[in-house]
Every structure is written in C-alpha cells, then in structure tokens.
Amino acid sequence: MTLEHRTLDASPAPSVGASEKTLRVLEAAILHDRFTDIVEETGLAKATVHRILATLVEQEFISGDSDRGYQPGARFLGIAGSAISRLDISAIAEPIVDELVREVDCTIHVGVLNGFEMVYALRRDSSKPYRMGSRVGLSLPMHCSGMGKAVLSSWTPEQVDRLIADVGLPARTDDTITDPAALHEELARVRARGYAMDLGENERGTVCVSAPIRDHLGRVTYGLSISSIALEHPGSSIEQFAPQAIAAAEAISRALGSPAAR
C-alpha cells in the first residue's frame, strides 16, 4: 500500500505541448512587460521562455527585449484591432442570455452605452403571456434605468455631474430620481452591492435588476437587466435575481475579453 502511494506521488505531471507553451508565453508577454514576471506567470523554464519570446519578437507578435521590457507587437495589434472591430455584443451575449431566460423566466435585456443614453442591443422574452414595451434599438435614460445606473456607477462623480449638466434628470415617473445628491447616493449603493435596480423609475409598473458588463479594456460600457412587471414581482422582490444578473454579466465580460473578469 505504501509503495503504491509513493509510486502515484512520483508520477510526472502531464507534459505541456509546444503550442500551449507558446500561447502561455504570448499571453504573459501581453500582460507583463518584465521577463521575470513572464517566466513566473508561465511557470516555464527561463531558457524555454527566452526562446519562445525570441520567436514571437521575430514574428512581430510582441516587441522589445528582456532589458527594455516587452509590449504587444505590430502583428498582434493588427489582429486584435480586426477582432475588436468585428465584436458583436448581441452574438457574444446571446447564448448566455438564452440560458439566463431559462433559469429565471423573465425578460432579459443587454444594452450598450451611447453618449448619455443606453440603447437596447439584445432582448429575450420569458414564457409569460405579457411582453415588455422595450425593443432593440430603443434608447433609455441612464439615471432612471437599471442598466444605466449600473454603467453610471463606474463613472467618477465629475462625469456624473457632467451628465446632469448636459441632459438633466427628467422625471419619467413619480419614482424617478431627479435630485443630483440622491443620484450620487444611489450610485454609491450600486457600487457597494454590485448591481442596480429600477423599481418603476423609468416606466410605471415595470421593475428590473441590472449588472454591469465590462469590455475588453475593463470599462463598463454595457449592462444586463432582468426585467419583469411589478404585479408579478412587487416591491423590491426582483432583487432576488441579483446573483444571476451578476453571474451572467460577468460571463459576458469574460467573453468580451475583459481583464477584470478573467
């Protein structure tokens, strides 16, 4: 029994293929500029890392050297730029949103920041007989929508004040936040808990819980909301879906390549 245990412990770890090693080094060189950090990140031998880095520099996937540090190279930046230009938030988010609809059976929206507004980019309906009044392409204010407040919570107070100065805080319903100080307080709560809510603030009788989605640079430029009607989810009961909203938003952020969601 003891001999067998020792034999299992002594078994070598599975070997790492050349392609995987190259990808490890490339990713580490994009994230870190120092050679020692790249070696530590990959867990590979220094000689192996040095050899792969030399090849990546030669092929212009990265640039620099161990003395000056490493940066993304022209070839990598060209590929990255082309990939980013082809990003379609709807296509990326669709399978995650479809799964979320099956899980919570509520209407799901994904919206994108456009200036001082949010624009619906994706909508998936629940199995319920009612339909929300939203539609893809429709814009909505930031200060009174769940997605808008989720995005605004990542802004500095100065940026929020600029929005207030430029577009104001118009009342959409009796529950809309129209006082600047109250909006700042609400955004502080959103930051602290990681999600926002709209309890009839944008449209009377509708409620939602929303979470921020980060893009490939880690910026909150999208939002996800789980929406319903107040008759089915009275008061703040829609808040029960906050964990699901956060999890789905983080999954979409990872799919977009957000460094904060890795």
Q: Are residues 111 and 145 in the same domain?
A: yes
Taking only the tens place, the pLDDT of each residue in 125-155 is 988 887 777 788 888 999 999 999 999 999 9
Q: Are residues 63 and 93 in the same domain?
A: no
Q: Are residues 9 and 98 in the same domain?
A: no
The pLDDT of residue 172 is above 70: yes
Taking only the tens place, the pLDDT of each residue in 48-102 is 998 998 899 888 888 888 888 888 888 887 776 665 555 678 888 999 999 999 9
Q: Are residues 193 and 108 in the same domain?
A: yes
CATH number for the domain harbouring residue 140:
3.30.450.40
Q: Are residues 66 and 128 in the same domain?
A: no
Total of domains in the chain: 2
**What confidence score (pLDDT) does residue 13 get?**
40
Average pLDDT over all residues of the chain: 87
Q: Are residues 124 and 247 in the same domain?
A: yes
Which range marks the domain in which residue 66 is found?
2-84
Q: Are residues 117 and 188 in the same domain?
A: yes
Give, as one character, the DSSP assignment of residue 175: T
Q: Are residues 59 and 102 in the same domain?
A: no
CATH number for the domain harbouring residue 63:
1.10.10.10
> What angle do helix axes 46-58 and 18-31 make, rounded to 10 degrees?
80
Taking only the tens place, the pLDDT of each residue in 100-133 is 999 999 999 999 998 899 999 999 998 888 777 7
Choosing from 47, 69, 84, the residue where a domain stops is: 84
Q: Are residues 20 and 133 in the same domain?
A: no
Choosing from 84, 117, 145, the residue where a domain stops is: 84
